[in-house]
């Protein structure tokens, strides 16, 4: 048995049958062809909550490498190994003056996991620069390629969280990065930080630095306090439901979406339900960010789940809105 404590940012103790470091596509294929035990794929462990032991061999993605595949007038196609650390890939892109991922700076985890929930932050999403990905089908043990359409990206969603869940090991991701970066500094406090720094014509490094400053000030560092970032997704409600909701809560922050729905920040709903800063034993709702559930030391995965369910129930009772988890419970 292997202890997964060092492999998940929630800092939960759980065991797995075994753990294998996967460093190449070839090694992965050979292992799959000779093994009949169940497998579980793990990257940085920053989006999972372990509620029990993992009765499988954990395949830890460590496939590295970043290479330029081709260039057009507007974009450069870059393939990155699924085991690359996401933020190191962002730094690589910035150092080559290739735009499109700077707003996603400092998101924990690996390149290979980024398409799973179409990572997003500060007005950008992975799908904006996604070209294709390479994977290995765990059922027929053959390589597979997915185009952007086939990935069915949505808000913190993809094919790999639905019909394709647990069926593919993503070995590399190819990005279409911008050769002439389009600066996106209008989200959250990015503009304010740039103005405070006297930056009137920001480049992608300036945007990345601003995003890093905001994230460091707002989010707990998993090395110091176990967590997996936002625990719930921001709920999207129809315009009809929103019109009733906003009469009762005119002060509620909200964002109108292109499809007519309205997004409400889950953190606001949780805070208004009185959960910010509350804790039961070592499982708590963070004191600055209500959307982040934390492990103060020795919480079990089940204790975090129990807390999440109580929060869901209270938000549902007060607002009639059911929060869905963003974190993968195992
Ligand atoms: C402090 C903090 C802040 C965060 N901020 C954000 C944010 O701003 N935006 C955002 O979108 N997310 C955020 N997250 C969540 C997390 O960083 C992302 O979801 C990230 O993509 C997870 O990567 P990982 O390698 O750690 O995945 P893991 O946690 O290892 O895995 C997540 C899921 O994907 C599967 N998986 C992992 N790798 C592969 C692969 N190669 N092939 C197939 N399946 C795979 C796993 O089986 C699991 O089900 C945050 C997390 C933390 C801790």
Best of 109, 110, 222 for a ligand 1 pocket test (most atoms within 8 Å of beta carbon): 109
Specify if 76 maps to a domain.
yes
Domain final position from 28, 44, 61: 61
Distances (CA, A) of 232 to 135, 193, 222: 27, 27, 17
The answer to whether residues 49 and 96 belong to one domain is no
- For 264-317, what is each residue's pLDDT tens digit? 999 999 999 999 999 999 999 999 999 999 999 999 999 999 999 999 999 999
Specify if 286 maps to a domain.
yes
The answer to whether residues 172 and 246 belong to one domain is no
Supply the range of the domain harboring residue 252: 226-329
Specify if 298 maps to a domain.
yes
The answer to whether residues 123 and 50 belong to one domain is no
Specify if 183 maps to a domain.
no
The answer to whether residues 166 and 248 belong to one domain is no
Q: Using pLDDT thresholds of 50, 70 and 90, give the confidence band for residue 8.
A: very high
The answer to whether residues 71 and 17 belong to one domain is no
Q: Which residue in 105, 134, 156, 303 is the catalytic one?
A: 156
Residue 121 beta carbon below 6 angstroms from any ligand 1 atom: yes
Domain final position from 40, 61, 82: 61
- Total domain count for the chain? 3
Residue nearest to atom 6 of ligand 1 (CA): 107
Ligand 1 nearest-atom number relative to CA 7: 30
Domain final position from 33, 61, 89: 61
CATH number at residue 250: 3.90.78.10
What is the pLDDT at residue 4?
97
Residue nearest to atom 34 of ligand 1 (CA): 113
Residue 42 beta carbon below 6 angstroms from any ligand 1 atom: yes
The answer to whether residues 301 and 273 belong to one domain is yes
pTM: 0.96
The answer to whether residues 243 and 273 belong to one domain is yes
Share of the chain above pLDDT 70, in %: 100
Specify if 82 maps to a domain.
yes
Ligand 1 nearest-atom number relative to CA 220: 1
The answer to whether residues 6 and 38 belong to one domain is yes
Share of the chain above pLDDT 90, in %: 96
Specify if 167 maps to a domain.
yes
Q: Using pLDDT thresholds of 50, 70 and 90, give the confidence band for residue 258.
A: confident
pLDDT value at 15 more than 90: yes
The answer to whether residues 70 and 174 belong to one domain is yes
The answer to whether residues 6 and 83 belong to one domain is no
The answer to whether residues 40 and 70 belong to one domain is no
- For 138-188, what is each residue's pLDDT tens digit? 999 999 999 999 999 999 999 999 999 999 999 999 999 999 999 999 887
Specify if 253 maps to a domain.
yes
Q: Using pLDDT thresholds of 50, 70 and 90, give the confidence band for residue 35.
A: confident
For residue 249, the CA-to-ligand 1 centroid distance in Å is: 33
CATH number at residue 27: 3.30.43.10
- For 213-228, what is each residue's pLDDT tens digit? 999 999 999 999 999 9
CATH number at residue 128: 3.30.465.10
Over residues 97-117, mean pLDDT:
98
Alpha carbons 325 and 231: distance in angstroms, whole number = 6
Specify if 185 maps to a domain.
no
The answer to whether residues 40 and 109 belong to one domain is no
């Amino acid at each position: 048995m292997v202890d997964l404590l060092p492999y998940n940012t929630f800092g939960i103790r759980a065991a797995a049958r075994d753990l294998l470091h996967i460093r190449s596509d070839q090694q992965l294929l050979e292992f799959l062809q000779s093994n009949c035990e169940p497998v579980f794929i793990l990257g940085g462990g920053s989006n999972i909550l372990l509620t029990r032991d993992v009765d499988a061999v954990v395949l830890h993605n460590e496939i590295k490498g970043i290479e330029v595949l081709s260039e057009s007038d507007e974009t450069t196609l870059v393939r990155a190994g699924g085991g690359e650390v996401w933020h190191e890939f962002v730094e690589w892109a910035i150092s080559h003056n290739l735009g499109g991922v700077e707003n996603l700076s400092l998101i924990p985890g690996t390149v290979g996991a980024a398409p799973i929930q179409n990572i997003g932050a500060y007005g950008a999403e992975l799908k904006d620069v996604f070209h294709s990905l390479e994977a290995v089908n765990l059922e027929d043990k053959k390589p597979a390629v997915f185009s952007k359409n086939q990935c069915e990206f949505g808000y913190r969603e993809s094919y790999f969280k639905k019909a394709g869940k647990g069926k593919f090991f993503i070995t590399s991701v190819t990005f279409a990065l911008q050769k002439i970066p389009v600066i996106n500094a209008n989200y959250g406090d990015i503009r304010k930080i740039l103005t405070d720094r006297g930056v009137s014509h920001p480049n992608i490094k300036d945007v990345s630095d601003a995003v890093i400053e905001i994230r460091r000030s707002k989010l707990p560092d998993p090395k110091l306090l176990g967590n997996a970032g936002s625990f719930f997704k921001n709920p999207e409600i129809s315009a009809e439901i929103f019109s009733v909701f906003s009469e009762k809560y005119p002060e509620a922050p909200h964002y109108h979406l292109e499809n007519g729905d309205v997004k409400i920040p889950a953190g606001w709903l949780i805070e208004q339900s009185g959960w910010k800063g509350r804790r039961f034993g070592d499982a708590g709702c963070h004191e600055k960010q209500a959307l982040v559930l934390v492990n103060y030391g020795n919480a079990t995965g089940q204790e975090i789940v129990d807390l999440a369910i109580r929060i869901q129930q209270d938000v549902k009772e007060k607002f009639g809105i059911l929060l869905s988890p963003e974190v993968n419970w195992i």
